[in-house]
Structure 1
């Protein structure tokens, strides 16, 4: 049994690999090979823990779970972990810390962007400057050759720092927008990674063929993207309908008659039938359970492979 520390994750796996693992996960989910129930929680009068679990059958199958303190709980970072068991129920390893979850969410966004946007999209707008925004941007540039990247958040210093940090990491120029309209106007793709419970842009700012990716609040009574945008969309996709419909509050997609389809189903129909790319498309990121487990297993296998190579006698 191996324990991977948070600081080791980035040295064992990169975003390109994480996106590939997520694509396989969605294909497995569409086939029914990945069982991914909605997340659940336990709590007492002081704290709340959230669990996501998944299982894959077969000789090379696995099962596992991720546990983390709920948002709003006053705990230090790094208080989450993913545990992986083999198909025989033997514990294979544990991956500690927040990095795995952040990479997994970013990689899911990359898969959605790859399969929901045209190859010729060129302008990307990012609203939000937290760690989720970082990994979403990191994944986005791996799947589409954006020529212009803009970022906006309400805090001027945070958006400047974000642009400096991500420009160095990605070796790309990032434009800092001092107003949300300058960020969104004309963008082919808009990633919203905020905790705002009210819309962060006006729908009149959008292109008629824009792709929207929403990670933050997305319920009827609290949503970071406008109701009008959801109602105007011709394609609505989520990574997990089971999770989307399990929230105690109605999901914002309930305000429109356009059906929501799952990302795994979208992947399984391509390239035979492609979705309508002419109108607005929206991806609701809710977190398909079991994806953390599969990414953690890939990390554990790479760690094992590295250890084996180090232990081999030199010739």
Structure 2
């Protein structure tokens, strides 16, 4: 039984491992073999919550496990994975890196199935951990040649550009505004904590694909609703989760909430994705609960094989 920490998950090749594992999980979701009930919160008044997700995959080699993270102000989480048929604890991942890897990989799968096949440029709003893994995932599924990044802190966006250019081996430039970052981009990644729109449909070119990261509510969202108006396809990794938030999802009441397609259905060919090079597509990532277990299992296998 292995215990992995953040420093064990720095191999850039693990993003491709996570993407492949999650693509399999989305196929399992369509076949009703993915176990992913909604999150469960346990409150500690005055301190925060412990948040639990349970998940796994049924089939020849069934997996089961859970993740728990806290809202006390830190970032650590624990993911435990069992080989269900062997009744064996495969391992535990501790830290925040696995969660970022999982979220980035889901974004990469959306880009693989919704962006134009010849997409080469990316505009990123945000320069934090999620922006880093989203870009790494985009680079894993598309042959990128240019990235522009904007965040409110000039220092942070310059540091992001230098780091990601070095890490990914492609041109990454800081932009002077959100509009400058996205206006010519084939793929837009919105990974901010802004509670007011920072980009609108008029800022984007025809045929663009947009990824959002994390829960967006009617009280706070960084995308203008005119982007949903313009999108030919709106997809999410968990329609159930968009309906489970305490605060209504940002598309609730807009007329677009019923347009959201399950990404798994698009991957499996049961729902339409992009139909035209001019289509704008929008993916709302809310974090399909339980999929951390699938990613952790694949990562544990790779790390164990290389040990």
Contact 1:237 1:261 in 2 (8 A): yes
**Residues in 2 aligned to 1:67 and 1:13: alpha-carbon distance in whole angstroms:** 25
Aligned pairs for 1:181-220 within 5 A: 181-220=179-218
Residue in 2 aligned with 1:36?
Answer: 36
User: Does the C-alpha gap of structure 1 residues 112 and 74 become closer, same or farther in structure 2, counting only changes over 3 Å?
Assistant: same
Match of 1:253, SS? coil
Corresponding residue to 1:83 among 69, 80, 84: 80
The reply to whether residue 126 of structure 1 matches residue 124 of structure 2 is yes
Structure 1: where are the runs of 5+ without partners?
308-315
Once the two structures are TM-superposed, the CA of residue 181 in structure 1 deviates from its matched residue by 1.5
**Residues in 2 aligned to 1:230 and 1:12: alpha-carbon distance in whole angstroms:** 33
Aligned residues: 302
Residue in 2 aligned with 1:116?
Answer: 114
Contact 2:17 2:299 in 1 (8 A): no
Match of 1:54, SS? strand
What do residues 204-256 of structure 1 show as CA deviations (whole Å, max 9, x unaligned)? 21113221111144222211100111122110000111111111122123312
TM-score by length of 1: 0.90
User: Does the C-alpha gap of structure 1 residues 196 and 298 become closer, same or farther in structure 2, counting only changes over 3 Å?
Assistant: same
**Residues in 2 aligned to 1:55 and 1:193: alpha-carbon distance in whole angstroms:** 27
Once the two structures are TM-superposed, the CA of residue 11 in structure 1 deviates from its matched residue by 4.1
Aligned pairs for 1:155-304 within 5 A: 155-254=153-252, 255-257=254-256, 259-269=259-269, 274-277=273-276, 278-304=278-304
Residue in 1 aligned with 2:53?
Answer: 52
Contact 2:102 2:295 in 1 (8 A): yes
Bigger radius of gyration, 1 or 2? Answer: 1
Match of 1:142, SS? helix
TM-score by length of 2: 0.92
Match of 2:198, SS? coil
What do residues 292-315 of structure 1 show as CA deviations (whole Å, max 9, x unaligned)? 1011111222233334xxxxxxxx
**Residues in 1 aligned to 2:191 and 2:200: alpha-carbon distance in whole angstroms:** 16
**Residues in 2 aligned to 1:213 and 1:151: alpha-carbon distance in whole angstroms:** 14
Match of 2:251, SS? helix
Residue in 2 aligned with 1:98?
Answer: 96
**Residues in 1 aligned to 2:12 and 2:210: alpha-carbon distance in whole angstroms:** 31
Residue in 1 aligned with 2:27?
Answer: 27
Match of 2:296, SS? helix
Structure 2: where are the runs of 5+ without partners?
none
Residue in 1 aligned with 2:306?
Answer: 306
**Residues in 2 aligned to 1:13 and 1:185: alpha-carbon distance in whole angstroms:** 30
What do residues 68-106 of structure 1 show as CA deviations (whole Å, max 9, x unaligned)? 112xx323x4x2110112215442221111111111111
Residue in 1 aligned with 2:73?
Answer: 74
**Runs of 4+ residues over 4 Å off in structure 1:** none
Match of 1:231, SS? helix
**Residues in 2 aligned to 1:182 and 1:52: alpha-carbon distance in whole angstroms:** 38
**Residues in 2 aligned to 1:306 and 1:229: alpha-carbon distance in whole angstroms:** 45
Match of 1:223, SS? coil
What do residues 114-140 of structure 1 show as CA deviations (whole Å, max 9, x unaligned)? 000111122210000000000000110
Alignment RMSD (CA, Å): 1.9
User: Does the C-alpha gap of structure 1 residues 221 and 12 become closer, same or farther in structure 2, counting only changes over 3 Å?
Assistant: closer
**Residues in 2 aligned to 1:237 and 1:92: alpha-carbon distance in whole angstroms:** 33
